[in-house]
């Protein structure tokens, strides 16, 4: 049975690409044929850096994943901004993105999809990243939080939005920013508020 996992985050520069790499390796160790998809990448100079790196990793783990970078990253923009802005307000075709998912699933059992920015990043004028997740209807969505100061607010807002949209999700903290202070300034609330706390690094 084919499975799709969507990697999103509480904001930009939280570690979606890193998390995608971790879970590609995690599922591959379970003898699953893995694949990767990043529908939109911004700040592209010559090549999409994140997409190219993760494509190589996916192909190393799954020799059958013989697709091109244009299949993996169909929308590439040079401006480091939200897709709607980076595209100069040109329409991003959601049907094309969904058709690419169908195509890529021919080469893998599990497809890791990496979003851009956070849940309310605009793709089109009235269409946001969370709308794309809803339309894809993945097996599960992985919400990644930063470990730096301010992450509590971002985490709670993102979780409430996912719940409002009735999107199933798992929540993971990426311990890489302000790691030394995390257990003093952020973890005490998480420990009091949540029954279960998991880190991306738990899956290494």
Q: By the 8 A CB rule, do 104 and 94 touch? A: no
How remote is the C-alpha of 17 from its chain's centroid?
7
Could you report how far apart the first and last alpha carbons of the chain are, in Å? 24
Q: By the 8 A CB rule, do 49 and 86 touch? A: no
Give the number of C-alpha atoms closer than 13 A to the C-alpha of residue 99, restricted to the C-beta side.
5
Q: By the 8 A CB rule, do 108 and 114 touch? A: no
Place of tokens 């021919």: 106
Residue in 16, 32, 33, 38 annotated catalytic: 38
Computed on alpha carbons and rounded to an integer, the radius of gyration of the chain in Å comes to 16
Is 38 part of the annotated catalytic residue set?
yes
C-alpha separations of 133 from 25, 69, 94, 143, 180 in Å: 23, 22, 11, 12, 33
Q: Which residues are catalytic?
A: 38
């Amino acid at each position: 049975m084919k499975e799709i996992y969507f990697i999103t985050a509480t904001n930009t520069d939280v570690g979606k690409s890193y998390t995608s790499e971790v879970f590609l390796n995690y599922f591959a160790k379970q003898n699953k044929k893995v694949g990767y998809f990043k529908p939109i990448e911004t700040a592209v100079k010559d090549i999409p850096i994140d997409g190219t790196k993760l494509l190589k990793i996916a192909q190393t783990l799954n020799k059958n994943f013989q697709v091109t970078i244009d299949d993996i990253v169909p929308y590439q923009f040079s401006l480091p901004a939200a897709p709607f802005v980076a595209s100069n307000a040109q329409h991003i075709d959601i049907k094309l993105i969904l058709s690419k998912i169908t195509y890529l699933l021919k080469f893998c059992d599990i497809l890791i999809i990496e979003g851009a920015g956070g849940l309310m990043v605009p793709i089109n004028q009235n269409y946001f990243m969370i709308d794309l997740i809803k339309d894809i209807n993945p097996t599960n969505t992985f919400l990644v939080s930063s470990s730096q100061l301010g992450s509590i607010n971002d985490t709670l807002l993102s979780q409430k939005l996912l719940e409002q949209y009735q999107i199933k999700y798992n929540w993971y903290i990426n311990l890489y920013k302000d790691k030394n202070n995390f257990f003093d300034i952020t973890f005490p609330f998480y420990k009091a508020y949540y029954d279960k706390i998991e880190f991306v690094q738990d899956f290494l």
